[in-house]
Structure 1
Amino acid sequence: MMSPNLFLLYPFYFYGGSNMRRQWSLKTVSVRLVDFRKTSEMGGSNMRRQWSLKRVSVRLVDCRKTSEMVDSSNCLLSGSGLSPGEADQHLDNEKKTTKLLKKHQHRHTGEKPYGCDQCGKKFARSGTLVIHRRIHTSEKPYGCDQCGKRFSQLGTLITHQRIHTGEKPYGCDQCGQRFSQLGTLITHQKIHTGEKPYGCDQCGKRFAESGHLVRHQKIHTGEKPYCCDQCGKRFALSGHLITHQRTHTGEKPYGCDQCGRRFAESGHLVKHQRIHTGEKPYGCDQCGKRFAQSGDLVKHQRIHTAEKPYGCNQCGKRFSQSGNLITHQRIHTGEKPYGCDQCGKRFAVSGPLVRHQRIHTGEKPYGCDQCRKRFSRLGTLITHQRIHTGVKPYGCDKCGKRFAVLGNLVRHQKIHTGEKPYGCDQCGKRFALSGHLITHQRTHTGEKPYGCDQCGKRFALSGKLVTHNKIHN
């Protein structure tokens, strides 16, 4: 039986003796030469070239460190019955065989004979070096025929084209979710297994993906090697730089096939598509609550662990979310990065800006399902609905009186404390509530902001206007 470790010359098959030694050797053996270029039948009277026995020298190659078959179609044949041209061809084939064997053996020896003349990085295979050099030359020979985007590697192009075709050949056998890349499937499956094989040697934190570990380690080193040539901002990861540069170019290469909305990042598209599918692949192992995004699950789990990993370096206050820390630090810096384009008022947080802009637009997106009254803020709707339900969640610890609104409880408690922190700068009279001070100051200014739309009469207090309107009704 032919050894699986022999490197043979196509189109010949070899039937060697059983006493061949498992090592490099030149051994003269009797072999049958079957020329498949002349016929595809192994027998029959109509064969153009008949079977024959020739005595030839066969070089046997045995890689004893592996059972892997090296893909080769070459072997040295020499001896009687070969023409000079055939002998030269077999000599060339022998050289190719030796080269392939050496490449294969680099896997075992760890040898990396091919070095980059730009950065010195070394590789076991010349083809890998060729691909690596494209980092320095920016060569991208492979182009997408759909959108024109170009790539340095053929495999990256094939993966990219699945964005256009929607092909997802890799499926999870646990939940059925499908992926366009094998690596994404492997990463996803760690959600089910909980495996985190990559650990930080600085703080011990573990990660399911090696890339996440690399990103995390830059927290310790502070390294930011990638710089934006437009604004000079620096980044720890090349991918973050590429994404950032889209803020300058406005490029949004990823589009939703359901609603057409486009995104600058593929991850944002994936998250967005879960709005359409309702998919929530991330589940809490404590309470079972499920989430569409892994980040939301991480934040949620801190409710159970009480972990607050983000600390303010000004006052020491700690937070469970990095975004909350960033917002908090604006108290110390006074930064208000969000501005209203209608009136110029600025805010430290984006949420209050969104709510403020509804003053200008009149938008009231939150509606009561009991009375159809609409509100510009979700919190105001929740408070309003307590009129229908009778819920009063806030109780006074002095007298037990309960309130539907937290602010009403705070005002009530000042009855017990006698606190009047708000003073009038005209007459010195003091008030427990800021709203009462504002109302009082109208006695000095004569301001009457509330007007009747029936007769035009104006009032300093909204309650007086409500009473007046009953005359018309």
Structure 2
Amino acid sequence: FKYPKSSAAKLNAGVILRYSTVYPFRLPENNIVCVFCHESFEEPSAFGKHMEQHQTFSIRHAFAHCPDSYLKADCSDIRCRICLKPSDSLETIANHLRKTHQKLLDLSAPLGIQPFNFKSDKLRCAMCETKAYSLRQLSRHTQTHFLRFTCETCGKAYASNNALQVHIRYSHRKLKGYYCGKCRTTFNTVDEKRIHLDESERCRRYVCNVCGDRFMSSFTKLLHMKEAHGVEKKPQVCPECGQAFADKKILINHFKTAHTDNNVVCDFCGQKFVSKKDLEEHRVTHTNDKPFPCPVCSKPFPRKKNLTQHMWIHSEYKKFECKLCDKKFNQRVSWKSHNKINHPELMNFE
């Protein structure tokens, strides 16, 4: 759904924000950000208390951050600012403002607001009660209720025109060779792209929050933050059961397996998995199938990721260099094996 200028949906949203305790926010990372003063909050309850202090604010600031999609808004405690009457939904408060206070609302048009309900300690969709493990994941799910922009090429739908354009750019634009998503440079081979990523600081995605240094992976960034700044990685806590995990991916897998009903089960051993892809990868441990042969040497592999890792053996690009004899290797495991056999004194410092 897109807001044309002075659209009914945008007018509806503006009236609701002005005359009720529906509080708009942004979610750039996993924190809630006030659209009026840009203060950030880790806990939704703290954001609600903060918004009660905003006695006056400019509604246009709310639309400045999302000009072409529904506004995200905290609808946990909806009350009319005129008569203080509580409401249990956006539709109820819209009807109340129109009929009781004669405010200009077009009830035949969308209300232009994406609702979030933070009454419970658990994260739940305000529309269908689906569970979520983080604010970002809850936001992504909630958007699925508002998918109005459809790709004419593949039929995928998105909540905003901007999201659709990003999809088209990355999925359907014809690119020659390999492509750097950061600087838009194209390369003829994967080796050229890897060299570019190794040498280009601008294209390293992971940035140290303390000193601004850039890294190729989340792991190397976290290692740097621990060794250089003494910053330990925060444990990832499940919002449902409180169990803590060292890595977000492990938390996501735990959440989907333990707290949702849409799991797939292995016919051989009964183990649960969060997706058919994970199940298929697991099934090869029972069947011993190896459906992925190497196109160079024909060696078969049970999983595609095993084949991808193996293909480095045939690559001419050797990024791992021995510090003592200048011998180069295209795999880290080969480099470590070389050091262990030929330079064991180095292993104490790796």
* TM, length-normalised to structure 2: 0.37
Q: Looking at both structures, which has the greater relative contact order when contacts are Cα pairs under 8 Å and sequence separation is at least 6?
A: 2
- Bigger-Rg structure (1/2): 1
